[in-house]
Chain A
Amino acid sequence: MKLGLRIARRFLSSNLSQTILIILGIAIGVSVQIFIGSLIQGLQKGLVEKTIGNSSQITVSSNQDERYIYEYDKLISDIVKTDENITKISPVLDNQAFLLYDDKNQSLIIRGFDIDKPESMADGIYDISNRIVEGRMPKDENEILLGIDLKSEYGIEVGEEVDIFRTETRKIFKSTVVGFFDLKVSSINTNWAITTLDNAQKVFEAGEVITSVEIQVNEDAVFTTDEIAGKILNVIGNEGYKVVNWKEQNESLLSGLEGQSISSYMIQVFVIISVVISIASILAITVLQKSKQIGILKAMGIRNSTTSFIFLFEGLILGFFGAITGILFGLGLSFAFTKFALNADGTPVVDLYISYSFIALSGIIAVVASVLAALMPAIRSSKLNAIDIIRNN
């Protein structure tokens, strides 16, 4: 094998321009694969992040007519224990109401989060504190945070008092607007009013209750929320609760992502195939080029297996250097893309997702493919007959 490696190295270095050309060919294949892979993965991560990064990924609510969940502290501690991928969990009390301002009215969902509590994770889910464009978070009784669209539509200012009207009890609560948020979704920006859980419980005179528990999971587990939801349901029982995860609610997004993944795999597979075919054909020509050398080596007593190793090593060396160069090209291309393909505000159009395991995998695939491509030429060289070469000269 050492002799095979030595001869392979010498064959490759004696025809350096051809060797470099093959390595470049492999490198371009690998770099396209890495670039496309990183682009698609980045695109998908970005899309998923934008869609569900700042919302509840799993929501536990009551399935009874009575919407309220009592003794929610125990429920939350039970849920947290079900899966280690659960990173954020928050109780919520939602209720319908109307905002009365001047002579106009607007339906609202009053969302009570425990944002005033030190252990609160609601802010972690919705990132509310960073989405406040004016004012501050509600802390005390009768303080509410409204969507930015309401400010522009009704001209409400921070510090103003507005009326919240409950249809069931026909009561009006006076609330102070302490700020405006912008969650980047128009329906949320016009419909939500955020307040503390205590205040929501007081306004709706419901006692110590919530309507749902909202959950976020580890970034790597977002596509397994259906399994996690199943586990949660097993633990808390389906008699009083229903568990909904984002995948059920976003089927069209999921099928879009899946389509994107499949087309990305297709591109990558065809790139690999073209790399394999080009290496195989070039090495097949090399066998012809070197047939005189192989013939004389066989006359000198080299074994057939050793001549096969020469070409397998050629494949391995070409694949190895092709993969390394390709990874460098691919990273360079990706870097250039994030630097030059920019939105108006200077952020990249698509945040590429650089996964080292994916890059390593692409490299390994290139090396394996190169060795496989060398298999045919290797077999051909082992079958080459010394006498045919000597007789034909």
Chain B
Amino acid sequence: MGKILELKNVNKIYGTDIKTQVLYDINLSFDAGSFNSIIGQSGSGKSTLLNIIGTLDTATSGEVLIDGNNIKDMTANQLSDYRNKTIGFVFQFHYLLPEFTALENVLMPYNIQKKPVTKDVLDRAKERLKLVGLEKVMNNPSTKMSGGQQQRTAIARALMNNPKMILADEPTGNLDSDSTETIYDLLRDINLEYKTTFIVITHDRRIAEKADRIIEIKDGKINLDITK
């Protein structure tokens, strides 16, 4: 399997007057199609790491290469397009657009490409919703759904553009244990079916153990890196 992502000596320092270093010389690489989990205590820097991988945040020093492309060399618009086509985000909070229905939310990453919504595209969105078990409520406004449904909609949305990589930051943080189980099984199924690379942050060791690889971050450094 090829490397989809490489991090070389990534440092992250917040603040200009009072400097707080969050990440120290992180070196990591991820295989395409792998299912990875990142664990660590609050404030360990795991979310910062994920945001840097997702190009939402920038490293203070070091390099991030995705598919061999250094993200430092990209313009703002190239980064936007790149995020849109290559990465799917699932956050702890669902971040659905409350003004739109579940189906419209799922279609949004495609709409951002400003291409016409054909029947194929619409079918794809519906199929994604079916995959997460929401085909019956797809025309509901996103505010009129349960927490689990909203999070599953967010997952369907992350899958819409067939991204190579899905970055999930505590995707079940707000859900009960039954929903948590369902969501992780779903992520795993997607990983197997679409060969999508997953990088999932969780503080639940039980969940982390289901991954192919567990990386533990402690005080901004890699404490543990186990591949099964």
Cα–Cα distance between A391 and B47 once the two chains are bound (Å): 9
B56 x A301 contact (CB < 8 A): no
Binds B, one of A121-129, A166-174, A265-273, A289-297: A289-297
| A387 proximal to B (CB < 8 A) | yes
A387 x B57 contact (CB < 8 A): yes
Cα–Cα distance between A391 and B91 once the two chains are bound (Å): 10
Most buried by A among B85, B93, B111: B111
A303 x B80 contact (CB < 8 A): yes
Contact mask for chain B residues 78-92; partner A; CB cutoff 8 A; 1 contact, 0 none = 001111110001011
Query: How many chain-A residues does the 8 Å CB contact rule pick out?
Result: 26
Answer whether A393 and B83 are a contact pair too, CB < 8 Å, given A3-B112, A3-B114, A387-B56. no
| A187 proximal to B (CB < 8 A) | no
Answer whether A391 and B76 are a contact pair too, CB < 8 Å, given A297-B108, A301-B82, A301-B84. no
| A14 proximal to B (CB < 8 A) | yes
| A300 proximal to B (CB < 8 A) | yes
Q: Give which listed residue, B89, B99, B114, contacts A299 with CB less than 8 A.
A: B89
* Chain B positions within 8 Å of A6 at CB level: 111
| A304 proximal to B (CB < 8 A) | yes
Q: Give which listed residue, B76, B82, B91, contacts A390 with CB less than 8 A.
A: B91
* Chain A positions within 8 Å of B84 at CB level: 300-302
- Please name the residue on chain B nearest to A382 by beta carbon: B76
B99 x A301 contact (CB < 8 A): no
Q: Chain A interface mostly helix, strand, loop or mixed?
A: helix
| B71 proximal to A (CB < 8 A) | no
A293 x B109 contact (CB < 8 A): no
A301 x B76 contact (CB < 8 A): no
- Please name the residue on chain B nearest to A13 by beta carbon: B99
| Number of inter-chain CB pairs below 8 Å | 69
| B98 proximal to A (CB < 8 A) | yes
A3 x B91 contact (CB < 8 A): no
Contact mask for chain A residues 295-318; partner B; CB cutoff 8 A; 1 contact, 0 none = 111111111101000000000000
Cα–Cα distance between A276 and B93 once the two chains are bound (Å): 36
Contact mask for chain A residues 382-393; partner B; CB cutoff 8 A; 1 contact, 0 none = 000011001101
Q: Give which listed residue, B82, B91, B99, contacts A11 with CB less than 8 A.
A: B99
Contact mask for chain A residues 5-20; partner B; CB cutoff 8 A; 1 contact, 0 none = 0110011011000000
A293 x B99 contact (CB < 8 A): yes
Cα–Cα distance between A300 and B84 once the two chains are bound (Å): 5
Cα–Cα distance between A2 and B85 once the two chains are bound (Å): 20
B82 x A299 contact (CB < 8 A): no
| B51 proximal to A (CB < 8 A) | yes
A301 x B83 contact (CB < 8 A): yes
- Please name the residue on chain A nearest to B47 by beta carbon: A391
* Chain A positions within 8 Å of B157 at CB level: 300
Cα–Cα distance between A302 and B98 once the two chains are bound (Å): 17
A299 x B56 contact (CB < 8 A): yes
- Please name the residue on chain B nearest to A11 by beta carbon: B99
Cα–Cα distance between A295 and B85 once the two chains are bound (Å): 17
Cα–Cα distance between A93 and B85 once the two chains are bound (Å): 91
Q: Give which listed residue, B51, B83, B98, contacts A300 with CB less than 8 A.
A: B83
Answer whether A293 and B97 are a contact pair too, CB < 8 Å, given A299-B56, A301-B84. yes
B99 x A300 contact (CB < 8 A): no
Cα–Cα distance between A297 and B83 once the two chains are bound (Å): 11
- Please name the residue on chain A nearest to B92 by beta carbon: A393
Cα–Cα distance between A80 and B139 once the two chains are bound (Å): 75
| B77 proximal to A (CB < 8 A) | yes
Q: Give which listed residue, A292, A298, A393, contacts B80 with CB less than 8 A.
A: A298
| B194 proximal to A (CB < 8 A) | no
- Please name the residue on chain A nearest to B95 by beta carbon: A296
Cα–Cα distance between A299 and B84 once the two chains are bound (Å): 8
Cα–Cα distance between A300 and B108 once the two chains are bound (Å): 8
Q: Give which listed residue, B81, B97, B98, B100, contacts A301 with CB less than 8 A.
A: B81
Cα–Cα distance between A300 and B81 once the two chains are bound (Å): 9
Query: Using a CB–CB distance below 8 Å, which chain B residues touch chain A?
Result: 47, 51, 54, 56-57, 76-77, 80-85, 89, 91-93, 95-100, 108-109, 111-112, 114, 157
21 contacts between A and B (CB under 8 A): A2-B114, A3-B112, A10-B99, A11-B99, A298-B80, A299-B95, A300-B83, A300-B84, A300-B109, A300-B112, A301-B112, A302-B80, A303-B77, A303-B80, A304-B76, A306-B112, A387-B51, A387-B57, A390-B95, A391-B47, A393-B95
Q: For the A-B complex with A3-B112, A299-B54 known, give 9 more contacts whose Cβ atoms are closer than 8 Å.
A: A3-B114, A10-B100, A293-B97, A297-B108, A300-B83, A300-B89, A300-B157, A390-B51, A391-B47
**Lowest 6 CB-CB distances: which A-B pairs, in order?**
A301-B84, A14-B99, A296-B95, A301-B83, A387-B56, A10-B99
Query: Using a CB–CB distance below 8 Å, which chain A residues touch chain B?
Result: 2-3, 6-7, 10-11, 13-14, 292-293, 295-304, 306, 386-387, 390-391, 393
